[in-house]
Structure 1
Amino acid sequence: MNYESMPHSHAAEELLDMIGSGKAHVAHAQNLAQAMIRDGIPKEAVSAFASLGSFGQHPSNAERDLHRWLKGIFGMCLEPYYIDLLLETEDVDEDAGKPLTATKRIPVLLPHEIFAELHSSSAYQFGTSMLGHQTPNAIKEFWEHLQRFAPMDIKGHPALESCDLSELVPLLVHFDGAEMYRNAEYNIWSFSSVFSSMLDVDCIQTQFLCCILPHIAMETKEACGGFHLNFV
């Protein structure tokens, strides 16, 4: 049984909001749900939250269990696409003095599938996340203005000639590092719309994660090049 098939629970909804907004880790939310059960809150969804990670006995599995429980929530059909990458490991080849490498299956979310999900969710959400609430005329004017200053080889690009400029969304691909999971550094790839980047809304509505990889696995040019070749 998944979340949407259960009776509505304000407590469970708040726990989900805390996780989604980054206010709480899944294991923390599971602990709170267990406390709610002990206090006599009988909601089925809260009980399901409390059961994550074998009722907290295996907290490292709580997030996996949550993803399974929430699968298909709000009609979301996104599934990760796996690519095989040759990445560095923490082990070192003592003779060569270099880190050993191993092929790993890495999950990624494809930008065009995220784009399609946003479009199918609602006109308002797509307008917020991709169009920045710009009108079709404003979007067309953006491209026409850009074309006046673009190099000649871009001005005559077939993609600009064969489409309706008022429906063309410029995307930004963003790469950055961040410390997480006990201060380990990770590389993060995401994308966003130029039109939505200046909106005063939560970035979870405008910036969309594609892939996360540990920094230690991508310290060579070969590893970085391999990722971009597969991902792009």
Structure 2
Amino acid sequence: MPNQHITRFSGMLNQHELKERYIFIKQCRENGFSREDIAFLLGRSSYHIIDYEGLSTHIKMDYMDHEVMAELFKTLAPRAPAFDYMIDKHNISHEKRLIRGTYTSSEKGCLYQFNHPWTIKGINKPIVIDMKLCRDYNYDEQIRLLLKFQLNKLIKLGYFDHKFAPIKIYDYIYSTIQIEWCSLFTPLLKQVVYDFIRNDKLIPLNESGHIFYQIKL
């Protein structure tokens, strides 16, 4: 990968915890959401997603996260790695083991590799998730103008008089934007919302680790 950046991480996880992260990463990327995109839509900080993918067991996804993901992800959940979990009639699936990983990113995409101690059909090999980035930037300015118009409209209609979740903003925009732009507007939506915050049109509110937006009172 040209101009690539490599991040290394590790954590003590059991088989189920690694499978959860595998499914999360695959679904995010297969549905076109970057780390920053999914963090914004879940109302989470980018560090929450980075640490979750980076095998931190201190970071959890709660019921609100799962509700949003169920709405966002249009593809079927991928099949998780089928680790061998029985050794001499002993179930090892819940035993924590050291997992080492790397995250390699570039303008072309991202690649995850997880090195683990388990086998699949008797063979141990790393788990690799390789996702290519294919994004059309030709319509960014048009989309940005439309997003500003729609956010101003939502403010005038009173949607932001009380805390308003990012997924609700996304749903409204998704229902109004032309179909060919549906896969392009999420990164720009975050930028426009942050522009509104800088211009004192909106303020972020943190509630139980989730970020909402409201007009500045």
Q: Shorter-chain TM-score: what band?
A: under 0.3
Q: Which has the larger radius of gyration?
A: 1
- Higher RCO (C-alpha 8 Å, min separation 6): 2
TM-score (norm 2): 0.24
Larger helix proportion of the pair: 1
TM-score w.r.t. the length of structure 1 is 0.23
